[in-house]
């Protein structure tokens, strides 16, 4: 092997085969692998290099086999049979090869996922590219940690149905659900199912980074979700010191877009004002002016300064406009009336265009009207 022998001595080759200690053989194995991977080889030299790699893969010392696996983990030059041998080796040897080697087929990776156990599954889940063939099998048979790692891998390709299977199989795993929620892109169906399943912080990330339907945005605004957050809204309405209350929520990462929208939908305008002031770092009196007296651009400016998601701005504007209209009309701002008026405003928003969404909103208004009717009769 002319090229390789020019860079390596006869003593190097001899040490690889008959080295006195595993450390000596591992050092030479690393050196040989580097030369094989970087030097141009003739076809004859490639054959000889592959034979040398097979000698390394059969070495009794784990250090030697690991030197081979780590040094050539991303190389296309490693023989296919050597890669399969290393994939069946101990954990320290199999992990780098399974995580990076391009010589495996999708069918081989899927078979290793089915039969290889959690360590190998996690290694495969970290690969720089995962096809739907492999992610399907990972979700179907993989351990929880492996599925979490795959879902956190934005280079893993998931079919929509496969992500839905993740939610069904791991509905009680906060780590897996969070990994799905923090993917760069999500289908709408997965986003909306996740809303019901995750913590406040993850839910706010979903609302900020992924689109949701007008129906779901409205459900969140009117309190159909998240009982604990509703309790916070009620506390906000009763709080004697809103400034301290919102500062406490902010410190504990509870002052979210969904909480503010829910508070506004329930008529707690002062809570919304103080919350926006806290997030934007602007005094309350200036925030009040921007929300109420600064024209159509005031709310947008303070909203953007607060770092709230742009896609929810129309919903907040509808709430503010509704609040103003009800004040102008002089009506009592009870919760049901406010929600009913807000729903009416939502029907006129540009982002509520689909017939299904309008039907949902109308149905919600009808139910609110039914709830309000007995109260009006007894008044």
Greatest mean pLDDT range, 24-28, 178-182, 254-258? 178-182
Percent over 90 (pLDDT), the chain: 39
CA torsion sign, 39 to 41 to 45 to 47? Answer: positive
pLDDT value at position 284? 93
What does each C-alpha distance from 164 to 129, 130, 146, 171 come to in angstroms?
A: 21, 18, 17, 10
The answer to whether 71 touches 26, Cβ cutoff 8 Å, is no
Give the CB-side neighbour count of residue 353, counting CA atoms within 13 A. Answer: 2
Res. 287 pLDDT band, cuts 50 70 90: very high
pLDDT value at position 348? 58
pLDDT > 90? residue 302:
yes
pLDDT value at position 20? 64
Vertex 336: Cα angle to 330 and 337 (nearest 5):
25
The answer to whether 276 touches 291, Cβ cutoff 8 Å, is yes
Look over the chain and give the mean of its residue pLDDT values, rounded to a whole number. Answer: 79
The answer to whether 112 touches 120, Cβ cutoff 8 Å, is yes
- Per residue, the 3-state secondary structure of the chain, as one string, reads CHHHHHHCCHHHHHHHHHCCCHHHHHHHHHHHHHHHHHCCCCHHHHHHHHHHHHHHHCCCCHHHHHHHHHHCCCCCCCCHHHHHHHHCCCHHHHHHHHHHCCCCCHHHHHHHHHHCCHHHHHHHHCCCCECHHHHHHHHHHCCHHHHHHHHHCCCECCCHHHHHHHHHHCCCCHHHHHHHHCCCCCCHHHHHHHHCCCCHHHHHHHHHHCCCCHHHHHHHHCCCCCHHHHHHHHHHHHCCCHHHHHHHHHHCCCCCHHHHHHHHHCCCHHHHHHHHHHHHCCCHHHHHHHHHCCCHHHHHHHHHHCCCCHHHHHHHHHHHHHHHHHHHHCCCCCHHHHHHHHHHHHHCCCCCCCHHHHHHHHHHHHHHHHHHHHHHHHC
pLDDT tens digits, 33-54 = 888 888 787 777 777 788 888 8
pLDDT > 80? residue 263:
no
Alpha-carbon distance 303 to 280, whole Å? 8
The answer to whether 87 touches 113, Cβ cutoff 8 Å, is no
Poorest-pLDDT segment among 239-248, 306-315, 326-335, 339-348 = 326-335
Poorest-pLDDT segment among 17-21, 46-50, 268-272, 316-320 = 17-21
CB-count exposure of residue 276 (10 Å: 0-12, 13-18, 19+):
buried
15 φ/ψ angles, rounded to the nearest 5 degrees: -65, -35
Res. 333 pLDDT band, cuts 50 70 90: low
pLDDT > 70? residue 116:
yes
């Amino acid at each position: 092997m002319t090229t390789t022998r020019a860079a390596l001595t006869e003593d190097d080759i001899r040490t690889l085969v008959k080295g006195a200690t595993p450390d000596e053989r591992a050092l030479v194995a690393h050196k040989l692998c580097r030369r094989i991977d970087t030097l141009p080889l003739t076809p004859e030299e490639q054959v000889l290099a592959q034979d040398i790699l097979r000698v390394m893969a059969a070495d009794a010392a784990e250090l030697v086999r690991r030197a081979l696996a780590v040094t050539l983990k991303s190389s296309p030059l490693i023989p296919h049979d050597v890669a399969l041998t290393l994939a069946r080796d101990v954990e320290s040897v199999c992990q780098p090869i399974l995580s990076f080697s391009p010589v495996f087929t999708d069918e081989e990776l899927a078979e290793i996922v089915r039969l290889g156990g959690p360590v190998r599954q996690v290694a495969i889940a970290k690969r720089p590219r995962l096809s739907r063939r492999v992610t399907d099998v990972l979700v179907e048979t993989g351990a929880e940690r492996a599925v979490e790692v795959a879902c956190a891998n934005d280079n893993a390709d998931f079919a929509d149905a496969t992500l839905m299977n993740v939610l069904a199989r791991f509905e009680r795993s906060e780590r897996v659900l969070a990994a799905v929620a923090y993917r760069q892109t999500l289908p709408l169906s997965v986003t909306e199912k996740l809303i019901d399943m995750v913590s406040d912080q993850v839910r706010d990330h979903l609302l900020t980074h992924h689109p949701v339907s007008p129906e779901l945005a409205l459900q969140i605004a009117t309190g159909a979700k998240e009982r604990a957050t509703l309790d916070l809204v009620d506390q906000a309405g009763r709080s004697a010191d809103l400034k301290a209350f919102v500062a406490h929520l902010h410190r504990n990462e509870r002052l979210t877009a969904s909480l503010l929208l829910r508070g506004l939908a329930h008529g707690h305008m002062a809570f919304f004002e103080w919350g926006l002031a806290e997030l934007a770092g602007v005094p309350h009196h200036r925030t009040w002016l921007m929300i109420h007296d600064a024209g159509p651009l005031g709310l947008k400016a303070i909203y953007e300064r607060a770092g709230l998601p742009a896609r929810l701005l129309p919903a907040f504007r509808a709430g503010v406009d509704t609040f103003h209209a009800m004040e102008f009309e002089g009506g009592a701002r009870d919760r049901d009336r406010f929600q009913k008026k807000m729903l009416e405003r939502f029907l006129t928003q540009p982002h509520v265009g689909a017939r299904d969404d309008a039907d949902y909103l109308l149905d919600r208004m009808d139910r609110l009207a039914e709830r309000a009717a007995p109260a009006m009769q007894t008044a």
